[in-house]
């Protein structure tokens, strides 16, 4: 079911060389604008630097490219603008955001969230799936 | 090349405070101000006062302060760093002899100048933005020997800069897109057995203490805020970065804005 939500967003005639797949803490590599699609399963939970990861995805996707993301999220509605830092001795630290925080993080990274996939946006599910488009807007930077 | 390095900062500060010319907050008792140099003159000639005031004016906006320049000449700022030091003072050894001090996010240099009064072996002050021009101006008066470097924490390298027995970082964490990365670097820069004094704005609501709030646009007009962590979230990040938490101090109200905040310090040690 989870894979269906993301995979069904891929065009049938997709050139697999233009697809970037990211799973867990596998990291991302490639040339700027090398990909048209990025399919990411649970990258934030095991990534201590999520904004750097999202900025990397922006760099690797061509303008108009599609980010398909599955993420563990905090299902509590009152926690929606927040994220939880999750230390883990063996797998490295990561983050579990609320849905609104996840959306803001992605938008600050130069993407426009097109829509949530499935009905996870309105439910109390701890997993979210979304489709976002890589905009011309560069990712935010820490600056005065 | 921009001939006025302060111009972008003036725009940012004007957006936040409504003016780039910031008066010192509250009443200032000149006699009670810290003298960052024993050489500060009790009396300044009128033309020297004019020169100093003109230069201070060119360097607006001043966030840190108050800085006594001699006589009764004071550069105020939006922040009362002297009041923050009422809490910090008892947490710092009276003598820092034999200690190397690193200050991260030094702004106009108030904190490194305070450390220098305790006669450490060396103070490295890092400030990547144009506020360092204010620190250079003050150092030209105080001559403390603080090593002012126009670098961000990202450029700190233990191979190049060495490690430090005392690391101080105030007001930087919530400006970072990936705050944990800052703490990992501070750990790398702290000598084994050394101490980190970390100050930050945090979430005030105890029920949110384990969380961090993302700030997508601005906090009270300040677009440089990204994550405001709760105190337990900071503790968790410090622990994951390799520090042992030894306590908290200096809690005070944070700046007003879209949600309630507090300001406070953590004392943490890098295990030997």
CA distance A60 to B64: 40
B224 to A142: CB separation less than 8 angstroms, yes or no: yes
Helix (H) or strand (E) holding B214: strand B211-214
> How many structural domains compose chain A?
1
CB B134 within 8 A of CB B62: yes
Paired residues of B252 in beta bridges? B263
Residue B63 structure tokens:
């966030």
Secondary structure, 3-state, B106-117: CCCCHHHHHHHC
ipTM of this complex: 0.92
Please give the full DSSP string across chain A, using - where no structure is assigned. Answer: -HHHHHHTTS-TT--GGGEEEEETT------TT-EEEEEEES-STT-S-HHHHHHHHHHHEEEEEEEEEEEE-B--GGGTTEEEEE--TTT--EEEEBHHHHHHHHHHTTEEEEEESTTTTTS--SEEEEEEEE-SSPPP----
> Percentage of chain B with pLDDT > 70?
92
Q: Does B52 touch chain A (CB under 8 A)?
A: no
Q: Is the pLDDT of residue B25 over 70?
A: no
For A130, the domain range is 2-10+17-134
CA distance B131 to B152: 12
Every domain of chain B and the residues it spans: 7-75, 89-269
CB B63 within 8 A of CB B22: yes
- Report the mean per-residue pLDDT for chain A: 89
The set of residues, in sequence order, having a beta carbon less than 8 Å from that of B23 and lying 6+ positions away, is: B76
- Pick from B131, B268, B113: which is nearest to B187 by CA? B268
Question: Which is more confidently placed, B102 or A3?
Answer: B102
Q: Which of A84, A85, A94 to mutate to test the interface with B (most CBs of B within 10 A)?
A: A85
CB A44 within 8 A of CB A53: yes
**Which residue is listed with tokens 């980010």?**
A67
CA distance A14 to A111: 21
Question: Which is more confidently placed, B25 or B221?
Answer: B221
- In this predicted structure, what is the pLDDT of residue B7? 77
Cα distances (angstroms) measured from residue B26 to each of A52, A82, B22: 40, 34, 12
Q: Does B213 touch chain A (CB under 8 A)?
A: yes
The pLDDT tens digits of the residues spanning B190-217 come to: 999 999 999 999 999 999 999 999 999 9
Q: What is the CATH number of the domain that holds A129?
A: 3.40.50.150
Residue B128 structure tokens:
């990547």
Q: Is the pLDDT of residue B247 over 70?
A: yes
The answer to whether position A52 is within a domain reads yes
CA distance B204 to B43: 45
Q: What angle do CA B103, B262, B211 make, to 5 degrees?
A: 95
Please give the full DSSP string across B183-209, using - where no structure is assigned. Answer: HHHHHHHEEEEEEEEEEEEEE--GGGT
Residues belonging to chain A with any Cβ–Cβ distance to chain B shorter than 8 Å: 48-52, 79, 81-85, 87, 93, 97, 101, 104-105, 107-108, 140-144
The CATH number assigned to the domain with range B89-269 reads 3.40.50.150
Show the beta-strand stretches assigned E in B18-113.
Answer: 67-70, 73-75, 100-104
Question: Given B175, B208, B237, which is nearest A85 (Cβ)?
Answer: B237
Chain A residues close to B212, C-beta within 8 Å: 82-85
pLDDT-based confidence at residue A136 (cuts at 50, 70, 90): very high
**B 230-259 near A (Cβ less than 8 A):** 233, 236-237, 239-240
CA distance A34 to A43: 19
- Pick from B150, B143, B98: which is nearest to B124 by CA? B150
Paired residues of A20 in beta bridges? A38
Q: Is the pLDDT of residue A44 over 80?
A: yes
A81 to B214: CB separation less than 8 angstroms, yes or no: yes
The pLDDT tens digits of the residues spanning A90-129 come to: 567 999 999 999 999 999 999 999 999 986 555 567 899 9
pTM of the model: 0.92
CA distance B52 to B75: 10
What are the helix (H) ranges across B59-153?
81-88, 110-116, 132-142
Question: Given B176, B212, B240, which is nearest A83 (Cβ)?
Answer: B212
Spell A95-126 as b/e; 16+ CB within 10 A means b. Answer: bbbbbbbbbbbbbbbbbebeebbbebeeeeee
A82 to B180: CB separation less than 8 angstroms, yes or no: no
The set of residues, in sequence order, having a beta carbon less than 8 Å from that of B29 and lying 6+ positions away, is: none
The pLDDT tens digits of the residues spanning B128-163 come to: 999 999 999 999 999 999 999 999 999 999 999 999
């Amino acid at each position: 079911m989870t894979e269906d939500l993301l995979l069904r967003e891929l065009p049938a005639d997709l050139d697999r060389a233009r697809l970037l797949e990211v799973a867990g803490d596998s990291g991302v590599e490639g040339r700027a604008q090398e990909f048209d699609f990025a399919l990411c399963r649970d990258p934030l939970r095991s990534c201590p630097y999520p904004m750097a990861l999202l900025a990397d995805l922006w760099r690797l996707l061509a303008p108009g490219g599609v980010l398909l993301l599955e993420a563990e999220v905090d299902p509590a509605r009152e926690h929606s603008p927040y994220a939880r830092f999750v230390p883990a001795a063996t797998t490295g630290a990561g983050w579990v955001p609320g849905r609104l925080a996840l959306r803001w993080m992605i938008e600050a990274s130069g993407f426009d969230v097109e829509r949530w996939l499935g009905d996870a946006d309105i439910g109390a599910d701890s997993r979210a799936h979304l489709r976002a488009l890589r905009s011309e807007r560069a990712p935010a930077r820490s600056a005065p | 090349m921009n001939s006025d390095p302060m111009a972008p900062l003036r725009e940012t500060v004007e957006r936040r405070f409504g003016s780039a010319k910031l008066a010192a907050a509250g009443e200032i008792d000149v006699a009670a101000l810290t003298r960052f140099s024993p050489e500060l003159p009790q009396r300044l000639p009128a033309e020297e006062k004019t020169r100093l005031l003109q230069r201070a004016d060119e360097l607006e906006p001043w966030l840190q302060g108050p800085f006594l320049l001699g006589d009764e000449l004071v550069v105020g700022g939006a922040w009362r760093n002297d009041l923050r030091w009422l809490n910090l003072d008892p947490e710092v050894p009276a003598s820092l002899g034999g200690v190397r001090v690193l200050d991260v996010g030094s702004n106009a240099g108030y904190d490194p100048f305070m450390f220098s009064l305790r006669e450490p072996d060396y103070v490295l002050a890092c400030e990547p933005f144009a506020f360092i021009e204010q620190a250079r101006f003050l150092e030209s008066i105080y001559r403390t020997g603080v090593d002012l470097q126009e670098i961000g924490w990202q450029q700190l390298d233990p191979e190049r800069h060495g490690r430090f027995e005392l690391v101080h970082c105030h007001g930087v964490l919530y400006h970072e897109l990936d705050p944990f990365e800052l703490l990992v670097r501070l750990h790398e820069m702290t000598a084994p057995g050394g101490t980190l004094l970390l100050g930050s704005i945090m979430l005030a609501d105890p029920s949110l203490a384990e969380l961090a709030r993302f700030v997508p646009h601005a906090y009270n007009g300040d677009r440089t805020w990204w994550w405001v962590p709760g105190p337990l979230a900071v503790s968790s990040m410090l622990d994951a970065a390799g520090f042992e938490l030894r306590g908290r101090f200096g809690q005070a109200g944070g700046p007003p804005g879209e949600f309630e905040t507090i300001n406070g310090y953590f004392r943490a040690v890098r295990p030997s």
